[in-house]
Amino acid sequence: MTQKLADEPCLTRTHVLRVDGMHCAGCSASIAQQLQSQPGVRKAIVDHLSGMATIETEAFVTDQKLVDLVVGSGYQAQPIEAIVDPVLMQAQAERAQSRAEYLWRRRSQIGFALWIPMESLHWIAMTQHMHSSAVDITLLIGSTLSMALVGSGFWRSAWSVLRVWRTNMDVLIALGATTAYVASLVIFIGQQMGQLQDQSTWFSEAAALLAIISLGHWFEAKATKSAGAAVRELLELQPEKAERIGAAGESEFIQSQDIRAQDLIMVRPGGRVPIDGVIEVGQADLDESVMTGEPLPVRRTLGERVGAGTMCFSGMLHVRALTTGRETSLSRIARLVQHAQTSRPPIQRMADGVASVFVPLVLVIAALTAIGWGIAGSWPTGIMAATTVLIISCPCALGLAGPMAVMVGTGEASLRGILIKDAAALERAGRISTILFDKTGTLTKGEPVVTNVELLERDSQTNNPTSQPIHLQSDSQSHPSIDSPVKNPSPQQIHAHAAGHAISTSPHTLSLQQALALAASVESGSEHPIARAIARRAAQENVVVALATQFESTPGLGVRAQVNGQSVEMRRDKSASCVLLVNGAQVARFTLADALRAEAPKVVQALQTIGMRTGLVTGDRRLEALRIAHESGIHESMVTADATPESKLEVIRRHGESAMMVGDGVNDSAALAAAGLGVAMGGGTSIASESASIVLVGGTLTALPALIDISKATLRCMRQNLFLAFMYNVLAIPLAAFALLGAYGPAIAAAAMACSDISVVGNAARLKWSLKRARMRATRV
């Protein structure tokens, strides 16, 4: 299928192909090289684990042209028409993975069913010094069946690439098994003619290497299917069916993917929300961990947005759909995770480059090994050593090293509300040592709240306003004043202090409720954030807001209106956010500030605990920046205030590639793009999300420590895998070429190659288990 890219809608297209017949990194590297050599192809990413090829091209390049190129390389390919539907896309990938797992399981079962009796008969004949034609014929028949039933898959794959003058891993296996079989057949025929009586055949070894390698591929196929299961787990969070409410109030069950925008959907207690939408009826506690990473339920009520896949613990909701059932945020996340899992981390590209030339190099080494032993006077040893070189040198583990870890890391991150756009971002996150935060909308909620209110009285002698703090009292206990040393009380705290208590003020001033009522009335015609904050405070105090007339707004100065026959004005003030004037007299001062996110101090502390340096870069004034830094736990020396987009860029460049920038606004987009790693808040602007390599989907900071843990563990796993794969090949080839593995070299080589694959796959499985255990532990906390 062809898609236009969002940033270049008319020039560049993205094609996604399903490619069959790939068995190693050499296969994928060969196809990518062939595609990228064509005019009009900008970039080609081919992943042999998922069987996917993603190609960015000029507009004139067609799907059929790309399919022809892949087929011409010896593989099968078809465009994926359902790319817009991740459910169908994932189903196609899983069907292919399930079929590969079934084929390798069947081949390994047949291979071992033939090899074990052959090997037993071979050992019995050796220990009993039996040498008869019956034994040799039995071994020949068993080996021939093994070559036909188990080796046919390797031969087909090898021939498909050899006929277009290319190679892959199966060429080595097919050539090694065939060499052992044909050499044994020649020796067998010679022995029947009375010659070569002192030579041993390798029929059982040929069968052994096919069986053992098939077993390794079966384990690999199972692990690949398991590693990619995170996308399936994401998609399964959207329920299969949804209950739609009709115009007459009747309900019917439909497929979730058939939901249309503006449909009204009922969500019952214990069910999952099937669509992105807005609550029109009801309130409920929702588990939004898939989006936010926060394990605790969140109360959602009328007018609030909910996302597909969230679990409803209590209460019944009527949700108005904002999207179709195929275009939910959950589906978009799954689609991007699929893309990330098929991308290649930079650390893997070197391995892929080695794998692409490895097979031809091994063929040359094997030929030189056979010739060298032949010149030394031992052609049988040369054939045995060359066969061992062919088998033991397969670069399968090399190709698995990075992709297996990437599939696990990106999948686990997605289940915690972390959207990693590509494997390179995951690798960069593992190298981060400094994390710089934007303030507004990142460390803070991004909306002002009323933090302090002072009622002003006029001095009878000077007629100048004087401030008198409001003290809230009750019969049972006393509360601190609103302007007490408690910094940034939440709206709930202010409400608790004010609602239902007597307010003791001077008779020359208004009451708190009257001041709030007047302020809310005059601000009712404004869309300014300060106006919304005062309106929220008035609503929390259950204050009745009177109708304002003759509303006027002066940008940068304030607003004015007539309220109950009085001239009321809210004016910006140097010493506070704004001052309330009634008929020209100052009567109250309102102080507003951006409230810190509740999770920010814990997140900053958790990051510092794992060795991260944390900093704050903001365009706000320094006094406010230092207040937020102090409350969140960031050291004063790591604070940059009064920053413009350009100066933010300079700060990022000064910290270098090891710095991560976390932001959400338009003024953060350049810094996010320039940073070693850009992380955008999910609730921020779209341009910020596009500039970032990673998105915190739920718009909270909770998942940030998990991102660092996952990325570092994944990078560590990739390094371990590459070390295992490289060391295996470096040590194995000399042992094989100098015939140090003995007469059973080919069988030992097959076992060693399978073990190398299993070690890489097993290390990735260990990573998945440890990350899943950490996720479960965090959920229980």
**What residues are annotated to the active site?**
438
**DSSP per-residue letters across 687-743:** HHHHH-SEEETTSSSTTHHHHHHHHHHHHHHHHHHHHHHHHHHHHHHHHHHTTTT-T
CA–CA separation, 238 and 309 (whole Å): 5
Bridge-based pairing of strands 317-321 and 298-300 is unpaired
Phi/psi at 2 (nearest 5 deg)? -110, 135
Phi/psi at 390 (nearest 5 deg)? -60, -40
Bridge-based pairing of strands 251-255 and 41-47 is unpaired
CA–CA separation, 96 and 53 (whole Å): 14
With 0-12 / 13-18 / 19 or more C-beta atoms within 10 angstroms meaning exposed / middle / buried, residue 115 is: buried
Are 492 and 521 spatial neighbours (Cβ–Cβ below 8 Å)? Answer: no
Lookup: tokens for 153: 């898959």
Buried-state track 548-576, b at ≥16 Cβ within 10 A, e below 16: beebebeeeebbbbbbeeeebbbeeeeeb
Are 407 and 341 spatial neighbours (Cβ–Cβ below 8 Å)? Answer: yes
| Tokens 């022809």 -> residue | 68
CA–CA separation, 305 and 278 (whole Å): 4
Are 275 and 323 spatial neighbours (Cβ–Cβ below 8 Å)? Answer: yes
The torsion angle over the Cα atoms of residues 546, 550, 554 and 558, rounded to 10 degrees, is -20
Bridge-based pairing of strands 298-300 and 305-306 is unpaired
Phi/psi at 465 (nearest 5 deg)? -70, 140
CA–CA separation, 395 and 362 (whole Å): 10
CA 335 to each of CA 42, 82, 207, 289, 723: distance values in angstroms, whole numbers, following the listed order:
21, 11, 42, 19, 31
DSSP 315: S
Lookup: tokens for 205: 């070894």
Residue among 235, 213, 296, 273 nearest 91 (CA): 235
Give the count of beta carbons closer than 10 Å to the beta carbon of residue 585.
Answer: 11
CA–CA separation, 373 and 386 (whole Å): 9
Residue among 643, 608, 602, 603 nearest 434 (CA): 608
CA–CA separation, 702 and 693 (whole Å): 18
Phi/psi at 552 (nearest 5 deg)? -135, 140
DSSP 637: G
Task: Work out whether the CA dihedral 633, 638, 644, 645 comes out positive or negative.
Answer: negative
CA–CA separation, 781 and 96 (whole Å): 39
Q: Which residues fall within 8 angstroms of residue 724, CB to CB, at 6 or more apart?
A: 397, 401, 756, 759, 760, 763
DSSP 544: P
CA–CA separation, 64 and 68 (whole Å): 6
Bridge-based pairing of strands 264-267 and 317-321 is antiparallel
Are 714 and 409 spatial neighbours (Cβ–Cβ below 8 Å)? Answer: yes
| Tokens 């959920």 -> residue | 779
42-48: list long-range contacts, CB under 8 Å, 24+ apart.
42/12, 45/342, 45/343, 45/344, 46/19, 46/22, 47/341, 47/342, 47/343, 47/344, 47/403, 48/22, 48/23, 48/24, 48/399, 48/403
Helix, strand, or coil (residue 148): helix
